[in-house]
Structures are given as structure tokens and as C-alpha cells.
Chains A and B, each alone.
Chain A
């Protein structure tokens, strides 16, 4: 079921809600987005992930209508979106610092959209109550934003956007202002809410963990270009580039020489289906384990350098023969020390394209 869903979402499905076509945005001589093409399916939760300065917020602002693309088009449900002003789009935004109106109460904030769009008083009232109930903020309806906590403001911002029944909801780093515990809780809530309302969410974040836990698909943006767009498990297990491998989760990059279908690095060698020459492999720390007698595994000697305890697991840095340092995830604390023999399965070493610096 889940994999079916993901398969249909892989390219935005047959009938995507949102289509970005060759989107480019420059500020003066500085190009922020370069040739972005992307489809988003109806009901999908897409995360645009990237470092600060990668252009992710600009991309979101183009979708909201606060910025005009320099070239390229945005289509939503068969209608060209980019010539429309923000207030004519069925798109709503949850702003980074929530941007709640300080002079209005929670209820007035949520009612702002329906009132501006001329929804009748009674219907607006019903919808506001419904939206506030959905985010469990009913009892705070007469409070002003300054009087409620960050997490509560976050919920109000969500209600204020959802009350307008948008086709597309944009979330700009919505959880970045919350502390770690609350953030994890909100991740779960946000995901559940998205499933419940069935609206397409596009979330922008620099937090790869947030992207992994919430999204149907992740679009990884790097210096204004899409590096990879894929479901979380795919982007984690089969990163396309060395940048993706290192940005999402932790990864060991192995530079190997391929000759006659055999990859070699240091004393390790394993059969591959790869072009001849110097190539890069990504190997996740949890794919390296203490040597067993499993057939076909690549075995090597290593010296433990140091380790960092992470609760559920321990990250151990080891040095292999030729001054190559690898990170190994060990589920048992203190298991690896001194000289150890380690191994990994050849299929876990994923061939990645080298990202230019």
C-alpha cells in the first residue's frame, strides 16, 4: 500500500496538482534557482530540503506569489499560477515565525482569511470553530498571539491557513522555532493533520531528520538546483550523488577504482556493475558490521580511533589500512575497540555521482 502510494507519487502521479516548469529566479546577477522542474501530486507531502542559501525559501515564495520567477512557469490544477497575485491563489502559507496578527485574537486571526474572501458571517464562524478544533486551540480563541506559547502559535498559524481550504499549503520552516521535544511532537501531529485534511503540503526545511519523518517525497535542493527528488527511504538507501549521501544521514564515501567489474579501494575489493575508472561509493555506517562468516561480504582490518555514544547506537570511527577513515554504527556500546575485523555487503555500497564542489 505504502509502496504503491510512493510509486504513484514518484513523478507526481499521472495527474499532478502542481507543475513547475524550468523555473529560474535571479536577483540581479545572482541566480538563486536554476531550471527547476518538479511535479507534485494531489494530497502529497513534499519536503524541499536544503541548506541555508540553497534557494528553498525563494522557491516557496514563488509558489505563494511573493516573488515572480525570472523564467519558467508554475501550473496548478490546469491553471497557470505565476501571473496571479498571492490573494487570488488557492495557496496558503504557514510563515516561519507564524506572522500572526498581533492586534487580533486567535479567533480573529483565523477568521481573517474567510472574512477577506467575503465568506458569510455564519459560515466563517463555523469554519473557524472547525479549524480551531482541528488544531486543539478552541479554548484559546479569545487570546492574543503574544499570550500563547510558540507551539500554540504554530497551531493557530496552521488553523489560519487551513480554514481557507487551500489546494496547496506551504510551510516555511514551521518547526524551526520550537524546542527539540516539541518539534518531534509537532512533526507527528503535522503529518497526521496532513493525512486527515488531504491537502497537498509543501514544507521547506534545512533539517534532514524532519524531512525524513514527515514527507512522502523529498526534493533536495543544492545551490539553486534540484539534486535529487525521491521518497525518504529511496533517497536514504539509494542516494544519487555524493552530496545527497552526505547531506541525508551519515555516509562513508569510498573512492574506488573499477577494473573488469571489480571495485578496489585499499585492501577491499568487490564485484560491481559500474563503468571502468575512478568512481565513488556511498556506504552507510550501519552497513558496516563486525566480521561474520557471511559469504560474499567484503572483509577488512581496522583500528578503532574513537567513538561517540548516541543513545540507541554508537558511532565509531575506524582507520583502515591505507589511512582511510570510516564511520561505523554499532548497536552495542563498547563492542568495537582496538584492532577489529569488519565487513559489509557489496550491495550496500551504492554507486553515487560525484557532486561538484
Chain B
């Protein structure tokens, strides 16, 4: 159907792209993760698993990994709890203004990440909008300090930022549920609530899995929110990677941590795809 020359022209550029910007850097980083840095800061090409051993043996790294996962899990949970009802309402119970509401959910995506993170800083800070309001209303006498520079602030901000990523796949899954299935359910004597639990929830599960995976994976690797709003108690694994590649100048250890995260994320994606397939086995 297509000429040989055409096929070469359309396949080679993407392959070159992938090789140059994905395979090559990743291979290089993977190699780095087995090397080490000497006391004077020169790279030693000694192949061993020392970096991985350090990563698993050291309390700090283990704890930070766990904290990151715990923060990501909470973001995932809250994003789902907020996005699911919203998607349901929009998909099944909104007629007029559906497009407008959809746009309103999506628009925050066009706003810079930094602006959204800083917005929370001005809301949650000691002299922030929330604290001054609470004091003005005499609900508290002193500013609440746990609001900012805490895992709480990170979870709040990341939930806000990643909700659209959770919303979109859930909404798409719901929009794909044939409406005659809903009618069939009512026809067979099921009330709206029964229909929700027995038809809509199971059929929207692939979207839920995809949305949850997005929220978790994106939050897990986030480093800006903990940097801006996390404080000492909210350091996440990516912050450590950033510092290892920067000030600490230990690329090999940074690479090892990165690959651990990558492995975790890939495992998660594999699991979520399995789950999606199981639910979509129709």
C-alpha cells in the first residue's frame, strides 16, 4: 500500500528520536548506577551494586521512599474521592453546560504548576489567607503552623494539581458506558442507586485504575511541591535525587535511586494495566 521509501521516511525519525532521547540517556544512567565517585569527586567506573546496597541499607533513603509512597497514596485517594463524583455528575446528570463544566475542570491544567503551588503557599502560610481568616474569625488565637511546610501541604497541593489527571480517565470511562445499559438496568427493576453500584461502578473501573495510577505515579516522583511547601518533614525521594545530582555530586547514587523509582513505577503500571484488562474483559 505504501512505498518502501515512504515507510522508511515515517519510521526512521521516531526511532532516532527514541534512541537519542530515551534509550541512550537511560542506558547511560543505568551504567552510572553501578559506578561510584571518589573522595576527590572523580568518577570511578568500578562495576558493583554498592549504590543499590546503600540505598536499601540506609534508614534515610528507605524512610523517604516510604514517605513518598504514602504521600502519593493519599493524593491518589483524595483525587479519586473528589474526581469520581465529579465525573459521575458531569457524565450522567448534567445536560446543559456540560462542555463548560468540563472545560472548567481542565482549565487548571493550563495554569503553570509553579503558580498553583505558590497559590497554596500564600493560602497556607503563617500570614496566609487561611490563618489570618481563622484568627479574624477568632477560631484560633495563633497561626496554625502545621498547614504549611508539612506533608499535609504537599498532599493538598498535589491533590489539587493532579485531580484533572484522575478526572479525565474516569470521565472518559463513564462516557463510554452505553446509555442503553443504564436504561436496561432501570427496565429490569433496578433503582438509580442499584444501577450506580452494579453497572456504573464496575464499568468505570478501568478509568478509576488509570486515574489512580496517574495520581500516584505523578505524585510519587514530584519534587517541586515538597521543595516549596514540604519543609524538613516533607522531603520526598525526588528531592534527594535532585540534591544528589546537584550539590551532593553523587550521580551514581542518584541514578540508583532513580532506577529504583522507575522499577516501582513500571511495576505499578504493569499492575494497573492488568487490572484494567481484567475489568474491561468484555
Contacts and interface: CB of A to CB of B under 8 A. Distances in A.
The answer to whether A and B interact is yes
Interface string B1-21: 000000000000000000000
B12 to A, nearest CB: 39
Nearest to B181: A99
Contacts of B198: 112, 116
Interface residues of B, number: 20
Contact of B186 (A85, A97, A117): A85
Contact of B180 (A87, A99, A144, A164): A99
Contact of A164 (B178, B181, B183, B188): B188
Interface stretch (B23-31, B70-78, B189-197, B243-251): B189-197
A116 B188 contact: yes
A64 B182 CA distance: 13
A160 B183 CA distance: 14
Contacts of B282: 102-103, 144-146
A64 B184 CA distance: 10
B279 interface: yes
Contact of B203 (A100, A103, A164): A103
B203 A102 contact: yes
Interface string A4-41: 00000000000000000000000000000000000000
A309 interface: no
Contacts of B178: 97, 99
Interface in A103-148: 103, 112-113, 116-117, 144-146
B199 A87 contact: no
A146 B281 CA distance: 9
Interface string B195-207: 0001100110000
Given A112-B188, A116-B189, A99 B203 contact: no
B187 interface: yes
A99 B183 contact: yes
B64 interface: no
B183 A87 contact: no
A86 B189 CA distance: 7
A93 B187 contact: yes
A322 B108 CA distance: 76
B272 interface: no
A95 interface: yes
B189 A117 contact: yes
Contact of A160 (B186, B188, B199, B202): B188
Contacts of A99: 178, 180-181, 183-184
Nearest to A92: B187
Interface string A250-274: 0000000000000000000000000
A101 interface: yes
B202 A87 contact: no
B150 interface: no
Given A99-B178, A101-B181, A92 B188 contact: yes
Contact of A95 (B184, B202, B281): B184
Contacts of B184: 93, 95, 99-101
A96 B186 CA distance: 16
Given A95-B180, A99-B183, A101-B184, A87 B279 contact: no
Contact of A87 (B181, B189, B203): B189
B239 interface: no
List of 6 A-B pairs having minimum Cβ-Cβ separation, nearest first: A102-B282, A113-B188, A116-B190, A99-B184, A99-B180, A86-B186
